[in-house]
Amino acid sequence: MAISPRSVPRDLSSLPHVVIIGGGFAGVAAAKVLADQDVRVTIIDQHNFHTFQPLLYQVATAGLEPADVAFPIRTIFGHAANVRFRHAYVRSVDAPRNLVILRDGSEVDYDHLVIATGAKAAFFGVQGASQFALPLYTLADARRLRNRLLSVLEEAEVRSEHERAAIDLTFVVVGGGPTGVETSGALTELVKIAIRRDGLRLDPARIRVVLVDVAPRLLTAFVKSASTYAKRRLESTGVEVQLGRSVVAIDEHSIRFDDGEQIECAAVIWAAGVSAGDALPEDVSSTRGPGGRVRVTPDLRLLDSANVWAVGDAAAVPLRGEAFCPQLAPVAIQSGRHCAHQILHVINAEPTTAFAYHDKGIMATIGRNAAVAELPHGVVVKGRVGWLAWLGLHLWYLVGFRNRLRVFINWTWRYFDWPSGPRLIVADAETVE
């Protein structure tokens, strides 16, 4: 949704400058709060678009297009005279001099700095994982994964003529959280649609989707009944769920577990976790919490700073006691907003307040027509009602009415079973010319 602030006709250059690194949920939420205030805002991101990450698995499985889940940051703030966008990669932060250093060497000075750099896939030292496993955290990840999945199907059809082993249609998804559950469910759908709609000559019995996790149950953040439901639903759509399994090595065509067992497969999808540390600019030498996340004060400042803030996946946002908030979109949005309000307090010489996370529940979809949502106070919604709730909520939160309508049309189509989804293999680089 484009912001329409009250007009800001005054001279901007004299206003305090807030620099936000990262245009994800947290950075955009912070900038929206600041868009009609007496500050100058610069959002710096290496991509010129905001990504709606909860739907990336749909892009990866060819249900949605990149433009359905990505929205230009400039367009979001097009009417906010005090918000600028800078398409650049941040190399480091020179906190003593209040400077952000870009890759090309140019410097951007700030009065307040918001670190909203998100996270990157974490491979936990599993041998070969960073080279061969396919993560799903950025739009580029999603496109790469889609190209791989569709190419595997194309190649498998040709090989079937030569009577090759069925092993080449096994896909392993590592990680039983929402991303892993959603991706493995959507992957079985993609294969079925490709066979039914596209006349792909493949025996459905050759397809094997395996979801593995080291934990004893799926969706560990949810109550146990949700985990049980998700497992049963996934298994009914053909996904093989293997729990309590620890991955030790991955190569181009196999995955190996600590018990020595090995699964030969066409692709390993990595949904096992993220690390904030690798996404941080150099020289942000603050104390780290779990997952490389920057430790912050209750009002979201770095422990050693008065004007550098950290929010979203990049920050170890305090929950209560010694616990930290999970790395979820609602936490990112709420912490981004809170941080922006605190910056205004500091500028106005007012006291800041501690961040408090308002948990509105968590949800995960499991293939078509089913989802599980856990609301506060342990209320669990399952099945089609859960799916409709999931759909409505995601459409509501999608940035931009236009995207919302596009996604709605795409999903309506898919739901009513018309030839759905743009199953395009769009090469990253033109390898064949």
126-158: burial string, b at 16+ Cβ within 10 Å, e else: bebbeebbbbbbbbebbbbbbbbbbebbeebbe
Nearer to a second copy, 84 or 206 (CB): 84
Paired tokens of 200 = 């792909």
Q: Which is nearer to a second copy, 141 or 299 (CB)?
A: 141
Q: Which stretch binds a second copy (CB under 8 A): 68-76, 171-179, 254-262, 292-300?
A: 68-76
| SS3 label, residue 182 | helix
Contact string 290-329 vs a second copy (x = CB under 8 A)? ----------------------------------------
**Residues near 356 by beta carbon (within 8 Å), at least 6 away in sequence:** none
Q: Which stretch binds a second copy (CB under 8 A): 62-70, 182-190, 299-307, 374-382?
A: 62-70
SS3 content of the chain, % helix, strand, coil (to 5): 35, 25, 40
Q: Dig out the tokens for 370 from the structure.
A: 């089913």
Q: How far is the CB of 69 from a second copy (least distance, A)?
A: 10
Nearer to a second copy, 198 or 359 (CB): 198
Q: How many residues bind a second copy (CB under 8 A)?
A: 62
Angle at 431 between CA 429 and CA 433, to 5 degrees: 115
How many CB atoms lie under 10 A from the CB of residue 391? Answer: 16
Tell me which residues in 378-407 interact with a second copy (CB under 8 A). Answer: 400, 402, 405-406
Contact flag: residue 429 with a second copy (CB under 8 A) = yes
Determine which one of 107, 161, 182, 350 is catalytic: 182
Of 205-264, binders to a second copy (CB under 8 A) are: none
* C-alpha span between 264 and 84 (Å, rounded): 49
Q: What are phi and psi of 386, to 5 degrees?
A: -60, -40
Residues 21-50 that bind a second copy (CB under 8 A): 46-49
Instruction: Quote the crossing angle between the two packed helices 224-236 and 178-197, to the nearest 10°.
Output: 20
Residue among 227 and 403 whose Cβ is closer to a second copy: 403
| Footprint on residues 336-375 left by a second copy (CB under 8 A) | none
Q: Should residue 199 be labelled a site residue for a second copy when binding is judged by CB under 8 A? A: yes
Nearest CB to a second copy, comparing residues 190 and 371: 190
Alpha-carbon distances of 226 from 7, 173, 372, rounded to whole Å: 48, 19, 6
- Please report whether residue 409 would count as binding a second copy according to CB under 8 A: yes
204 binds a second copy (CB under 8 A): no
Q: Is 433 part of the annotated catalytic residue set?
A: no
In the shown chain, the binding pattern of residues 158 to 197 toward a second copy, with x for contact by CB under 8 A and - for none, equals x-----------------------------------x-xx
Which residues face 379 on adjacent strands? 375
Among 15, 81, 375, 395, binds a second copy (CB under 8 A): 81
Q: How many Cβ atoms sit within 10 Å of the Cβ of residue 8?
A: 17
Q: Say if residues 135 and 122 touch (Cβ distance below 8 Å).
A: no
Q: Whole-number minimum distance, CB 357 to a second copy, in Å? A: 30
One residue of 5, 8, 36, 65 binding a second copy per CB under 8 A: 65
Q: Using the rule CB under 8 A, is 424 a contact of a second copy?
A: yes
What are the two backbone dihedrals, phi and then psi, of residue 153, each rounded to the nearest 5 degrees? -65, -45
238's tokens:
């053909």
Place of tokens 């005279």: 81
Q: Is 139 in the site for a second copy (CB under 8 A)?
A: yes
Residue 67, interface with a second copy (CB under 8 A)? Answer: yes
> Of 322, 27, 275, whose CA–CA distance to 130 is shortest?
275
- 59 vs 172, beta carbon nearer a second copy: 59
What is the pattern of x (binds a second copy, CB under 8 A) and - over residues 95-124?
A: --------x--x------------------
The three-state DSSP-derived secondary structure of 333-376 is HHHHHHHHHHHHHHHCCCCCCCCCCCCCCEEEECCCCCEEEEEH
In 198-297, which ranges are continuous DSSP H helix?
Answer: 224-236
- Type of residue found at 102: L
Give the nearer residue to a second copy in terms of CB position, either 31 or 218.
31
Contact status: 79 vs a second copy (CB under 8 A): yes
Q: Which residues are catalytic?
A: 182
Instruction: Give the binding site for a second copy (CB under 8 A).
Output: 2, 46-49, 65-67, 70-72, 74-75, 77-81, 83-89, 103, 106, 139-140, 143, 150-151, 154-155, 158, 194, 196-201, 400, 402, 405-406, 409, 413, 418-420, 422-430, 432-433
